[in-house]
A and B are shown apart, each in its own frame.
Chain A
Amino acid sequence: MTSFFVWLESTPLAVAIAESRWMFPTFEVLHVFGLALVVGSIAAFDLRTLGLAWPSRRLETLVREILPWTWSGFVLAVVTGLLLFLSSAATYIENRVFLAKMALLLLAGLNVLLFHFHPHHHRFTVEGQVSPVLRASAAVSLTLWTAIVVLGRWIGYSLTVG
């Protein structure tokens, strides 16, 4: 398994990213920008669902409006995240902070699926109803995405400090 990640970071693209002076920082900025689009749009929806922000934005229109932001940010964050990962794949895959971030991303994804397949989903999008389960889902989502941002920042420190 480890040899696979060692091979990954020895591929020409990975070596180019690791050795280039500007590629890693550029992908890092784009990764943060993608993450900002994802977290900003999801947090807006979560806070609106919890009744804490954007009171004058209708939930059903907010859902439609934020989806392009969320997906474009997600694609950008995933592509740039993979490129950053490639540059030191064997190191990242053994880093506990990185693995914790990936686990939380998985949980955040499951939470989104819960929202989409929740039996109240259609009532919610049509009539603006918010069930207690969806409120709980929004609170969990806010917590998870905040933790993902924190862990993402800690990866750099755990590689150099710890």
Chain B
Amino acid sequence: MLRNLSMNIAQSWISTQVQDHVWVVPTFQSIHILAIAALVFASFSVDVAILRSPAGARAIPWLGSSYRWTWTALAVLLVSGAILITGEPARSLMNLFFRIKVVLVLVGAALTLVLQRSLTGEGRSSLSNSALVALAALSIPVWVAILFCGRFIAYFGDLAG
């Protein structure tokens, strides 16, 4: 199914546009990296604050800003990532590390949402301090693993045969 999807995308007008203009891929890869930088700083800031003091993290005044940056960066990553996939669909969709990356992005986003709701939303007291620490400690390696998977797509995991 994914093989057919990648073939259909490769034949689309937008895919040929991306392939025909040599500047598009490196430009969107650069935007992708800038968004990763924003996400890493915004997300890790909260995670490290939780690991230092889970009780104190609930009172951090910049939590709202941090989560705005995290979600904005994630949106930019999704849009720029979609454009990059459009240019070379088989390279992404038919790659083991791309598939692992997609799963990890969903896990990272879910962790962010749970932590955000627990720290700033109505469910402020829904998670214990030890649960907050566990989720924050999990969030950091998940984002690092996403970074590894994203770069490894270029080198390993080709499933196209």
Contact = CB atoms under 8 A, between A and B. Distances in A.
Contacts of B156: 25
Contact of A40 (B29, B38, B61): B38
Given A54-B62, A57-B62, A43 B38 contact: yes
Interface stretch (B102-110, B115-123, B145-153): B145-153
B11 interface: no
Q: Interface of chain B, helix or strand or loop or mixed?
A: helix
B36 A32 contact: yes
B37 A29 contact: no
B41 A44 contact: yes
A25 B30 contact: no
A130 interface: no
Given A57-B65, A153-B30, A36 B147 contact: yes
A157 B65 contact: no
Contacts of A37: 37, 40-41
Contacts, number: 81
A53 interface: yes
Q: How large is the interface on B (under 10, 10 to 19, 20 to 34, 35 or more residues)?
A: 20 to 34
A57 B41 CA distance: 14
11 contacts: A24-B155, A25-B152, A29-B152, A32-B33, A38-B37, A39-B37, A40-B38, A44-B42, A53-B69, A153-B33, A154-B26
Q: How large is the interface on A (under 10, 10 to 19, 20 to 34, 35 or more residues)?
A: 20 to 34
A57 B152 CA distance: 36
A69 B155 CA distance: 29
Interface of B: 22, 25-27, 29-30, 33-34, 36-42, 44-45, 61-62, 64-65, 69, 144, 147-148, 151-152, 154-156
Q: Interface of chain A, helix or strand or loop or mixed?
A: helix
Contacts of A43: 37-38, 41
A149 B33 contact: yes
Contacts of B33: 32, 35-36, 149, 152-153
B53 to A, nearest CB: 14
Nearest to A21: B155
B41 A69 contact: yes
B44 to A, nearest CB: 8
A33 B144 contact: yes
Nearest to B155: A25
B41 A29 contact: no
Nearest to B33: A149
B17 to A, nearest CB: 18
A36 B37 contact: yes
Contacts of B44: 69
A90 B152 CA distance: 25
Interface string A121-150: 000000000000000000000000010011
Interface in A1-42: 21-22, 24-25, 28-29, 32-33, 35-41
